[in-house]
C-alpha cells in the first residue's frame, strides 16, 4: 500500500471532518419544513452551506499548491466517489438535474436556468480542452525521457511547468463549479435555494455512504 504524503494525510483529515459537517448541515436543510421560516431563516441556512463550500475550496487550493498530484488521485475518496470525479471535483452540469425537479419555477427562471446551462457547458468544454492539453504535455515529456533527452536543470523546469499546468486546470474546474452554484442561487428565491442545496448535499453525502459500503 502506497504511503500517504503529508498533504494527503492533512487533506484526508480535513475532508472527513468537512463531509461530517456537511451531513450536519443537511439535517438542518431537511428540517426546513418542520416549522415556519421567514426569509432570514432561509438566508441563514444558505449562508452556512455556501460558507462551508468556500472553506473547502480555500483549504483545497492551499493543499494542492503543495501537492497537486494528490488531487488527481485522491485517496480520501471512495472508488464510487472517484467514479463521479471530473477534474478533481463534481461536474458542474450535474447540478442542473436537481434544478429540474424544483417546484414553482417561473418562466423567467426557467429561461435564466437554460441560459446558464448553456454557458456552463461551454465552460466545461474549455476546461476539458485545457486538461487534454496538459495530458499531451505529460505524454510528450515521457516520450523525451524514453528517447534519452531528459535530465539536468531543464527537467526540473519542465516538471514545475507540468505541475503548474495541472494546478491551473484544477482551479479552472473549481471556478466553474462555484460559478454554477452562485449562478443558480442568484436565479432563485431563498426557499428554492434551500431546496437545491438540500438535494445537492444529500447526493454528496449518500454517494460517500454508498461508496463506503461497497
| pLDDT tens, position by position, 50-99 | 999 999 999 999 999 999 999 999 999 999 999 999 999 999 999 999 99
Alpha carbon distances (Å) from 10 to 6, 7, 188 = 6, 5, 36
Domain that holds residue 142: 6-213
Q: What is the mean pLDDT of residues 2-18?
A: 93
What local confidence, expressed as pLDDT, does residue 79 receive?
Answer: 95
**How many independent structural domains does the chain possess?**
1
CA–CA dist 76, 206 (Å, integer): 16
| pLDDT tens, position by position, 146-163 | 445 555 555 667 678 889
173, 167, 207: which is closest to 82 by C-alpha? 207
CA 162 from centroid of its chain's CA atoms: 21
C-alpha grid cell for residue 70? 494528490
What local confidence, expressed as pLDDT, does residue 145 receive?
Answer: 53
Classify 169 as helix, strand or coil.
Answer: helix
Q: Is 1 a member of any domain?
A: no
Cβ-proximal residues to 119 (8 Å cutoff; 6+ apart), any chain: 183
Q: Is 194 a member of any domain?
A: yes
Amino acid at each position: 500500500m502506497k504511503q500517504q504524503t503529508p498533504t494527503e494525510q492533512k487533506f484526508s483529515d480535513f475532508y472527513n471532518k468537512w463531509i461530517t459537517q456537511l451531513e450536519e448541515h443537511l439535517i438542518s436543510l431537511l428540517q426546513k419544513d418542520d416549522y415556519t421560516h421567514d426569509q432570514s431563516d432561509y438566508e441563514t441556512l444558505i449562508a452556512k452551506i455556501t460558507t462551508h463550500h468556500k472553506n473547502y475550496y480555500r483549504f483545497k487550493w492551499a493543499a494542492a499548491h503543495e501537492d497537486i498530484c494528490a488531487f488527481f488521485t485522491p485517496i480520501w475518496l471512495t472508488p464510487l466517489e472517484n467514479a463521479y470525479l471530473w477534474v478533481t471535483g463534481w461536474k458542474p452540469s450535474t447540478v442542473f438535474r436537481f434544478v429540474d425537479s424544483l417546484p414553482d419555477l417561473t418562466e423567467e427562471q426557467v429561461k435564466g436556468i437554460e441560459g446558464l446551462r448553456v454557458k456552463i457547458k461551454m465552460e466545461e468544454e474549455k476546461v476539458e480542452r485545457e486538461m487534454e492539453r496538459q495530458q499531451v504535455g505529460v505524454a510528450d515529456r515521457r516520450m523525451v525521457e524514453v528517447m534519452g533527452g531528459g535530465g539536468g536543470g531543464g527537467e526540473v523546469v519542465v516538471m514545475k511547468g507540468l505541475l503548474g499546468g495541472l494546478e491551473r486546470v484544477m482551479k479552472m474546474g473549481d471556478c466553474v463549479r462555484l460559478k454554477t452554484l452562485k449562478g443558480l442561487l442568484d436565479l432563485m428565491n431563498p426557499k428554492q435555494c434551500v431546496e437545491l442545496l438540500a438535494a445537492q448535499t444529500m447526493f454528496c453525502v449518500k454517494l460517500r455512504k454508498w461508496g463506503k459500503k461497497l
